[in-house]
């Protein structure tokens, strides 16, 4: 073939690859409110930065007539590009080509970009929208999933791995997203489940819709599988770009991608913090029944008023997410007093433990805001393994080596205080507000136990009983629960005023920058799963 003919052939093949899905298939995709695989990549990466790999790939399967359908790309678009100048690797399943199903060649393409990403130290973004294992390829397709799972595990904690669920993701396909660091879903169009509604009905008799079984709402509020939910794909890729700003490229670097906007927000944060000092002071002087939204404190402490929350609808009694202090990304774990008085349960412990370990893996400092009344009691919690799940959170903080700063805002009772990133578990710096109560239990509960006989001398509810009870509660607080006693004993480093929280936290993280931790050698830890 002549040189010109070869170039013409190359152009033709590229055109075929770029339009591998039929016009009808593309129209169906759009009619469902979904972008195509290529449109999704374009929505994410900087304009013109995407470099495609294996564009001319075809499957080599035979049987059931599949050998007569061999489209270019084979149903997945792979390559690398840049997001705000930050290198990322990406694969995007193409539902318009063979239903985005995974065969051996598709798996090979995905594995290739995963290996490249790990070798150069860059995040891996997987956009899932496919029909699962390609039936015509049998065990070869299943083995392909195994190859992907192996790399999900191998590169866990090495480079950030983010899964976008932009359509169906069922059967064995769900395990790759479950092994990644973050899962993002879209309302109405994203579905994840091991077995679909038809199988559930056949086996159990239960009738359930796809949305009820594995939609974004279910996985964001019930199962905890989804960490971020977006109303549509436009919001999805904006959120994904925002998340990438907080993450380093790999575990050998620190600090996310710092935009000019992030830098400018530092001064805005200082100004806003000064303006809201009085509000926060009032906020933190609430009585025992008072509630507040801990996000208000987060907003005051951090540079920017944009808090990127993780799993906001799941276990809302604890708040986890990313923000910035001194223009640098930090992870925040905070009890939420407006839900269960900030008490910890099974889901809250697991949610926070996972987030802490993610931050630690990628060198993201952690700020812990503590207002915890204890662990939620009950038969269900005990039988669900609150001991085991609480141990996960304890373990996560204890093994973390990143800079850690703790602020006790109000209540810190019992073992829950220790578990929430205390000095005992390795917090580098710990502060408490003057209204904080740090004790084995609430003062009234303690009095009910240790001073029961003193109170029995009086008729319950009488003025004498009330006066004596008030005296005993005050005495307990002064002797056992006040933050000054905790500071005296070194359980916290200082008692600070509400208007000092931002400056103290900020200076602490600045001091801790460059912290080095030496860990003993071991093959791996035995996490209390």
* C-alpha distance from residue 67 to each of 15, 29, 102, 104, 321 (Å): 21, 25, 15, 14, 48
CA distance linking residue 128 with residue 525, whole number of Å: 31
pLDDT of residue 260: 56
pLDDT at 39 over 80: yes
**CA distances (Å), 492 to each of 149, 259, 484, in order?**
43, 35, 9
Across 9-14, average pLDDT: 86
- Is 490 an annotated catalytic residue? no
Q: What is the DSSP string of 247-263?
A: S-SSTT--S----HHHH
pLDDT value of residue 386: 94
For residues 278 and 407, membership in a common domain is answered with yes
| 481 in Cβ contact with 437 (< 8 Å) | yes
- Would residue 186 count as lying in a domain? yes
Strand 308-310 and strand 318-325: the pairing is antiparallel
Query: Could you say which of 246, 272, 303 is where a domain stops?
Result: 246
d(CA 443, CA 423): 22
| Mean residue pLDDT across the chain | 88
Q: Is the pLDDT of residue 403 over 80?
A: yes
Q: Is the pLDDT of residue 447 over 60?
A: no
Cβ partners under 8 Å of residue 23, min gap 6? none
Lowest average pLDDT, out of 20-29, 466-475, 483-492, goes to 466-475
Give the containing element (helix H, strand E) for 448: helix 443-450
Confidence of residue 499 (pLDDT cuts 50, 70, 90): confident
Number of domains in the chain: 3
Rounded to the nearest 10°, the torsion over CA 70, 72, 75, 78 is: 150
User: Is residue 47 included in any domain, yes or no?
Assistant: yes
∠ CA 460-462-467, nearest 5°, is: 100
> Residue 453, SS3?
helix
In a domain, 253, yes or no: no
Task: For the chain, give the number of residues.
Answer: 529
pLDDT at 261 over 60: no
Instruction: State the DSSP code for 478.
Output: I
- Domain assignment present for residue 347? The answer is yes
Domain limit, last residue, from 246, 274, 291: 246
Same domain, yes or no, for 422 and 450? no
> Considering Cα of 145, then 60, then 51, then 43, what sign does the dihedral take?
negative
Token pair, residue 399, equals 């093994």
Q: Are residues 321 and 226 in the same domain?
A: no
Q: What is the mean pLDDT of residues 376-393?
A: 94
Mean pLDDT for 142-164 is 96
Which domain covers residue 24, as residue numbers? 3-246
Mean pLDDT of 111-135: 95
Whether residue 179 contacts residue 158, with contact meaning beta carbons closer than 8 Å, is answered with no
Asked if residue 421 and residue 278 are part of one domain, the reply reads yes
Please check whether residue 375 lies inside any domain of the structure.
Answer: yes
Assigned domain for 255 exists: no
Q: Which of 173, 416, 432, 481 is catalytic?
A: 416
Of 157, 188, 415, 426, the active-site residue reads 415
What is the CA 306 to chain-centroid distance, rounded?
16
Looking at the structure, tell me whether residues 264 and 314 fall in a common domain.
yes
**Residue 411 pairs with which residues in a beta bridge?**
437
**168-186 pLDDT tens trace:** 998 889 999 999 999 999 9
Q: Are residues 32 and 48 in the same domain?
A: yes
The string of pLDDT tens digits covering residues 222-260 is 999 999 999 999 999 999 999 999 999 999 987 665 555
Residues 81 and 166 in one domain: yes
335 and 313 in one domain? yes
In a domain, 517, yes or no: no
Active site residue 514: no
Read off the pLDDT of each residue in 472-497 and give the average, rounded to a whole number.
83
Read off the tokens for 446.
Answer: 């303690």
Nearest to 439 by CA among 475, 483, 377, 488: 483
Give dist(CA 297, CA 429) in Å, integer: 18
Query: Does any domain span residue 526?
Result: no
Q: How is 346-402 classified by DSSP, letter by letter? A: HHHHHHHHHHHHHHHHTT--EEEEEEE--BPPSHHHHHTTHHHHHHHHHHHHHH--S
What is the distance between the alpha carbons of residues 231 and 347, in angstroms, rounded to a whole number? Answer: 24
| Cα dihedral value 218, 224, 226, 231, nearest 10 | 50
Asked if 431 and 407 count as a contact pair (C-beta separation under 8 A), the reply is: yes
- Residue 436's region, left for phi above 0, alpha for psi from -120 to 50, else beta, is beta
Q: Which residue has the higher pLDDT, 491 or 240?
A: 240
Query: Looking at residue 455, what is its pLDDT?
Result: 65
Per residue in 339-365, pLDDT tens?
998 999 999 999 999 999 999 999 999
Give me the sign of the Cα torsion angle 490, 493, 496, 498.
negative
Q: Which long-range contacts (CB under 8 A, 24 or more apart) does 516-520 make?
A: 517/401, 519/401
Tokens of 265: 């927000």
Give the residue-averaged pLDDT of 491-513.
93
Q: In the predicted model, what is the mean pLDDT of residues 116-128? A: 97
Which helix (H) or strand (E) segment holds residue 335: the answer is strand 328-335
Cβ of 253: how many Cβ atoms within 10 Å? 12
Band of the pLDDT at 13, cuts 50, 70, 90? Answer: confident
Return the pLDDT at 59.
87
Residue 453 or residue 101, greater confidence? 101
Q: What percent of the chain has pLDDT over 90?
A: 61
Q: Mark whether 376 and 315 lie in a shared domain.
A: yes
**Same domain, yes or no: 347 and 390:** yes
Q: Could you confirm whether 378 is annotated as catalytic?
A: no
Q: Is 33 a catalytic residue?
A: no
pLDDT surpassing 80 at residue 461: no
Residue 471 near residue 447 (C-beta atoms within 8 A)? no
**Catalytic residue (choose from 157, 172, 188, 426):** 172
Model confidence band, residue 265 (pLDDT cutoffs 50, 70, 90): low
Same-domain pairing of 278 and 209? no
Catalytic residue (one of 121, 138, 171, 426): 171
**pLDDT for the residue numbered 414:** 86
CATH assignment at residue 197: 3.90.226.10
Contacts of 296 (CB under 8 A, 6+ apart): 279, 280, 283
For residue 450, what pLDDT band results from cuts at 50, 70 and 90? low
Same domain flag for 85 and 221: yes
Note the pTM of the prediction, 2 decimals.
0.91
Q: Distance (Å, rounded) from C-alpha 157 to C-alpha 362?
A: 7
Q: Left if phi > 0, otherwise alpha if psi is -120 to 50, otherwise beta: which for 30?
A: alpha
| Rounded Cα distance, 476 and 303, in Å | 38
Q: For 165-207, give the DSSP string.
A: E-SEEEGGGGHHHHHSSEEEEETTT-EEESS-HHHHHHHH---
Q: Is the pLDDT of residue 67 over 90?
A: no
């Amino acid at each position: 073939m002549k040189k010109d003919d070869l170039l013409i052939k190359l152009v033709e093949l590229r055109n075929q690859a770029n339009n591998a899905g039929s016009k009808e298939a593309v129209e169906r995709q759009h009619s469902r409110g979904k972008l195509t695989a290529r449109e999704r990549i374009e929505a994410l990466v900087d304009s013109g930065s995407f470099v495609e790999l294996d564009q001319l790939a075809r499957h080599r399967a035979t049987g059931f007539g599949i050998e007569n359908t061999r489209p270019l790309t084979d149903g997945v678009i792979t390559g690398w590009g840049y997001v705000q100048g930050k290198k990322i690797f990406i694969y995007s399943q193409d539902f318009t080509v063979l239903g985005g199903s995974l065969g051996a060649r598709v798996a090979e393409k995905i594995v290739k970009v995963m290996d490249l990403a790990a070798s150069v130290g860059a995040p891996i973004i997987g956009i899932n929208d496919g029909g699962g294992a390609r039936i015509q390829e049998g065990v070869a397709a299943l083995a392909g999933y195994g190859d992907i799972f192996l790399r999900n595990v191998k590169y866990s904690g090495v480079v950030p791995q983010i899964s976008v669920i932009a359509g169906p993701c069922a059967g064995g396909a769900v395990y790759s997203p479950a092994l990644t660091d973050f899962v993002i879903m879209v309302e109405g169009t994203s579905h994840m489940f091991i077995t679909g509604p038809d199988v559930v009905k056949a086996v159990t008799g239960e009738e359930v819709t796809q949305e009820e079984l594995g939609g974004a709402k279910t996985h964001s509020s019930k199962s905890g599988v989804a960490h971020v939910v977006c109303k549509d794909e436009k919001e999805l890729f904006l959120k994904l770009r925002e998340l990438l700003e907080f993450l380093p490229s790999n575990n050998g670097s620190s600090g996310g991608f710092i935009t000019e906007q992030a830098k400018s927000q530092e001064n805005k944060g200082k100004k806003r913090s000064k303006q809201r000092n009085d509000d926060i002071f009032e906020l933190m002087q609430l009585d025992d029944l008072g509630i507040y939204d801990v996000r208000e404190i987060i907003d005051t402490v951090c540079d920017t008023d944009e808090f990127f929350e993780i799993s906001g609808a799941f276990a809302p009694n604890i708040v986890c997410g990313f923000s910035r202090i001194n223009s640098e990304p930090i992870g925040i774990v905070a009890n939420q007093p407006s839900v269960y008085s900030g008490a910890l349960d099974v889901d809250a412990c697991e949610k926070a433990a996972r987030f802490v370990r993610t931050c630690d893996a990628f060198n993201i400092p952690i700020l812990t805001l503590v207002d915890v009344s204890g662990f939620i009691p009950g038969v269900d919690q005990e039988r669900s393994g609150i001991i085991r799940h609480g141990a996960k959170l304890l373990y996560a903080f204890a093994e973390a080596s990143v800079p850690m700063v703790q602020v006790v805002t109000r209540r810190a009772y019992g073992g829950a205080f220790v578990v929430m990133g205390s000095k005992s578990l390795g917090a580098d710096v710990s502060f408490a507000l003057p209204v904080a109560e740090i004790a084995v239990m609430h003062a009234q509960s303690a009095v009910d136990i240790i001073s029961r006989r003193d109170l029995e001398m009086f008729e319950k509810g009488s003025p004498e009983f009330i006066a004596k009870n008030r005296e005993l509660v005050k005495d307990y607080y002064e002797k056992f629960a006040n933050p000054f006693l905790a500071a005296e004993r070194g359980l916290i480093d200082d008692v600070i005023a509400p208007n000092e929280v931002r400056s103290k936290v900020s200076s602490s993280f600045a001091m801790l920058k460059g912290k080095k931790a030496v860990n003993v050698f071991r093959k791996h830890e035995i996490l209390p799963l």
